Structure 1
Amino acid sequence: GRISFLVLQILSILLYNYYTSSIISSLLSKPPEAFHSLDELGHSKLEIGIEDLPYTITWFEIMNDSDVQYIYKNKVFPPNAKKLNIYEPDEGIAKVKQGGFAYHTQLDTGYPIIARTFDQEQICDITEIPMIPQVGAGIMLQKKSQYKELFHITLRKIKEVG
């Protein structure tokens, strides 16, 4: 009884020591290098491609954000290039998988391709940077409309669920 209790105590201390050192080690380790902003992405060595969507090229051309303009003029349509870096989603995401490439596409187009072609470790290694800012939705109603609460609940559900 006493010997098994002593062995159990020693094993518990060793196990506790192992897990706490593992947690501290992970907290002290250098975070993975990932891009967090369009500025970092634009000034990186990555080649950037886009999906040919009706609004994408127009959005790049009219957007006033300096980071977006830098990416468009130097990465998507480099000065010496004869054409835009436009790729079909399968081709663009395949280039992302090879490395050294960033690709702009719709989430509902890109995620199924990524799920189908990437393994779990590769999925963990990729980073998503939102390029087009989200725009809030709103509905105009009369000041004391009977539908105000109904629309309020519906818009909240749309925001939470999509």
Structure 2
Amino acid sequence: MALYAAYSANIVVLLQAPSDSIRNLPQLTGAKITLAANDVDYNYFVFNQSMDPLHLSVRDRIFPESGKPKVYSLADGVERIRKGLFALHSVAEPVYRQIEATFLESEKCDISIVDYLVTFDSFTPVRKGSPYLELIRVVHKQIRESGIQSAIRKRYLVSKPHCTTKMSSFSSVGLLDMRPVLILMLYGVAISVTIMMGEIVVHKLINRHKRISKVKMMKTLR
């Protein structure tokens, strides 16, 4: 029972601790989680643009050659993310908005974001040697320093949900989680019973040998 209690306590601690083991695309492709995509038109084209091995690996897991594509609606996909071991490819802002509406505060700590397309910030194209280059540079700095850019971003874009606590919500431990220790306990019981039976047999053989020896000694004395 002490082994069972210690093992279950360790599992609970591991389940409650937020994990940051998936931060990039190689780690995502190597993780044993379900990969899926939001059921929108652009996702059917995005995954066919790159011939990179990592991108192809993700595409084959989401759109297998044999079987149904793993595409879900936004609400269904976010709910599967909340249950764990699930990754959904989608535009970030709608997912963030759905997470804010459905996730508990403690569940937001388990969210990891991986940039699949390796996007970059937009730029303002200007002709080389243009007299407007310095003017645009100064205006962009003024917009950023005055807070206008961040205000517009907060108004139209939803930021990543903030994690207010470092501890995840409580997770119960079922029999499947305890399978290794239960198997170990069964092996221990089986070995103990085998040793006990062996000791009983050996004890009986020793007693029988002693009785036979006594009988022989008595016959010899007579």
* TM-based fold match above 0.5: yes
Map of 1:4-43 to 2, 5 A cutoff?
32-43=19-30
Percent identity of equivalent pairs: 21
TM-score (norm 1): 0.68
Map of 1:85-104 to 2, 5 A cutoff?
85-104=70-89
Letter in structure 2 aligned against 1:36: R
Distance 1:106 1:155, change over 3 A: farther
- Structure 2 spans left out of the alignment, 5+ residues: 1-16, 154-222
- Highest Rg: 1 or 2? 2
Question: Match of 1:129?
Answer: 114
Q: Deviations over 1:115-158 (max 9, x none)?
A: 1111111101111111111234231235141x223322455557
Q: Deviations over 1:24-64 (max 9, x none)?
A: xxxxxx98342012122112221111113333221211113
Q: Does 1:78 align with 2:84?
A: no
Q: Does 1:56 align with 2:49?
A: no
Distance 1:153 1:49, change over 3 A: farther
Query: Hey, what's the Cα distance between the residues in 1 that align with 2:140 and 2:43?
Result: 26
Q: How many residues end up aligned between the 2 structures?
A: 129
Letter in structure 1 aligned against 2:126: M
Which runs of structure 1 show a deviation greater than 6 angstroms over 4 or more consecutive aligned residues? none
Query: Hey, what's the Cα distance between the residues in 2 that align with 1:54 and 1:152?
Result: 37
Q: Alignment partner for residue 52 of structure 2, among 43, 56, 65?
A: 65
Query: Hey, what's the Cα distance between the residues in 2 that align with 1:140 and 1:96?
Result: 42
Question: Match of 1:143?
Answer: 129
Question: Match of 1:22?
Answer: none
Query: Hey, what's the Cα distance between the residues in 1 that align with 2:30 and 2:65?
Result: 15
Query: Hey, what's the Cα distance between the residues in 2 that align with 1:104 and 1:117?
Result: 18
TM-score (norm 2): 0.51
Question: Match of 1:113?
Answer: 98
> SS in structure 1 opposite 2:35?
strand
> SS in structure 2 opposite 1:102?
strand
Q: Alignment partner for residue 32 of structure 2, among 25, 38, 45?
A: 45
Distance 1:126 1:138, change over 3 A: same
Q: Deviations over 1:95-131 (max 9, x none)?
A: 1111121111111111010011111111011111111
